[in-house]
Structure 1
Amino acid sequence: MQRRDFAAALTAALATPAVLGAAPAAAADRSGGGSGLPHHMRAVLAPELDDKGAAHALVPHLYDVGFDWHPPTADLRDLDFIVAYGFGNRPPADGGDPSKVRPEPGPVNEELADTVARIRRHRDIPVYAQWEIARFLESKHHMKNVTSIEPVIAPDGTITYLSTDGVAAQVAEARKDLPGGIGRAGVVGFRDHVKRCVQTTRDRGMTAYAPKGFSMPGTYDPESGQAWTRRRDLYLVHDMAAQWSVLREKLVREAYPHG
């Protein structure tokens, strides 16, 4: 019965017009106050685990990872630079060893570059862009003041592509010694990736938000060279797995800081 109640609460929350326009956390609260979605999640999970305390501790994480896909935002005027994270690619146009031949940036990264260009028209601030995006900023938009975050290339030509965290680390390193400090980052990323991009940027010691009022690209490329970025159902699982991995490390470190 509790599972059916949970399903009914979720359906009602998603079907309520007022909730659809709300931020995710607010949506859960407005779907019934104390009887909102997190409440129903705790009600189902506590008897399933036979542990009310564990359920109470887990539900905020379950909600955040599985039900909240919106990043925190800030006005563009309050941001000092842009960080743009790539999403997917296309196989190398002329073939070759994929470990030593760069892929094509692909249409999604072109859309991300277009988004950066749209933002820059409103405020001329420095841009740090993963190379797949930077290529379009340079060739299509002829944009200046762009730092391309490049992959690591070994002496034998082997290419190691940077993860989301690897890109954030490079940006943090590039800005750490600026006279005015690192500043506040405006994060650009694919619609289903951008929340994690903001989190990862913050985890690297930067204040970060998505620019308020700017939509992010959300159309998947079925020809992407990265299989998990071809379909939304597959990517969401991938992204949740990445969020859980980072969260696990944080929680263990907080619980046992000395090992």
Structure 2
Amino acid sequence: MRRRTLLATAPALAAVAASAPAAQAHPAGHAVTALMAAELGGTRTAGRIAETLEHTLLARQPATAPLSRLEYVVAFSFGNRLAADGTATPGPMNAALATVVEHLLRARRVPVYGQWEIADVLADRGIHDVIRIAPDHDADGKEIYLSTDGVALKALQHRAAQGHRGGTAGVIGHRDHAGRCALTIDSHHAAYGTEGRAPAGLPLPAWYDRDSGQPWTRDADSFLTADTTGRLALAAQSLQAMPAA
């Protein structure tokens, strides 16, 4: 993830509202609905805004699904470590995320799409059948940053090319990132028919690597600020895509 890419275009969530499984209501949802109704006079738009904010902003943790329901896994990296020459290496957080993937695979063998930092750790541990998701490069050979949405799309496009559509994706990521990872997969439901869920009973790492090469992943305050910015942008895109009342 990268702060400047958190505002990158993501597919609108409007189509999801009609077709994807409904998200669990947030305890504060009724209060937000009442506030929007009071501020906007009980209009239909007030309800749309409240529902969008509840889904994208209030619900920070992803819905879960039992391992038996997962058809594939998408593992999202979190930070990295930079060598003296600027070369990026996976770092301890992505090693921890790779361990979560290992635990899941011991319980259920499913295809795994892993962002390169996680895939490389798994390969070093002898797990070579992970579908590695790596950044693209521009015409000058410069690496194009791989965003959260980019990882999700690469995984979904690969599955579609293999003739697979729909199903539940097990989302592996940092605890504070996993919610947006699942939301991003859900945002592609209209095109790919899939949903993102955290594996039930499988704890996700919640600590922060203060030596991460990505400054916004070094502490909770920095990341949650960046993550909220991304969620707000996603909410705005959803509202803009809604048809006029």
Alignment TM-score, normalising by the size of structure 1: 0.74
Describe the shift of the 1:24–1:236 C-alpha distance in structure 2 as closer, same or farther (beyond 3 A).
farther
Q: CA deviation at 1:103?
A: 1.2
Describe the shift of the 1:201–1:66 C-alpha distance in structure 2 as closer, same or farther (beyond 3 A).
closer
Q: Which residue of 1 aligns with 2:65?
A: 74
**How many correspondences in the alignment?**
218
187, 201, 206: which one pairs with 1:203?
187
Q: Which residue of 2 aligns with 1:114?
A: 99
Residues 115-156 of structure 1: per-residue CA shift (max 9 Å, x gap): 1011001011111000011111111x2113201101112353
Residues 70-109 of structure 1: per-residue CA shift (max 9 Å, x gap): 2121111111111101111122x1324xxxxx41212111
Describe the shift of the 1:126–1:56 C-alpha distance in structure 2 as closer, same or farther (beyond 3 A).
closer
Residues 1:147 and 2:131 aligned together? yes
Q: Which residue of 2 aligns with 1:244?
A: 232
Q: Which residue of 1 aligns with 2:177?
A: 193
Query: How far apart are the structure 2 equivalents of 1:171 and 1:230?
Result: 26
Q: Could you tell me the percent identity over the aligned residues?
A: 36
Aligned-CA RMSD value: 2.5
State the AA in 1 paired with 2:169.
A
More divergent stretch after superposition (145-154 vs 200-209): 200-209
103, 116, 119: which one pairs with 1:134?
119
State the AA in 2 paired with 1:209.
R
Query: Between Structure 1 and Structure 2, whose CA radius of gyration is higher?
Result: 1
Structure 1 residues 20-31: aligned runs within 5 Å: 25=25, 28=27
Residues 1:103 and 2:91 aligned together? no
Unaligned runs of at least 5 residues, structure 1: 1-22, 29-36, 97-101
Describe the shift of the 1:183–1:62 C-alpha distance in structure 2 as closer, same or farther (beyond 3 A).
closer
Q: Which residue of 2 aligns with 1:230?
A: 218
Describe the shift of the 1:51–1:235 C-alpha distance in structure 2 as closer, same or farther (beyond 3 A).
farther
- Indicate the SS of the match to 2:81: coil
Q: CA deviation at 1:45?
A: 5.9
Unaligned runs of at least 5 residues, structure 2: 1-22
Q: Which residue of 2 aligns with 1:253?
A: 241
Describe the shift of the 1:50–1:128 C-alpha distance in structure 2 as closer, same or farther (beyond 3 A).
closer
Residues 36-95 of structure 1: per-residue CA shift (max 9 Å, x gap): x44444556666x4645465543333444443222121111111111101111122x132
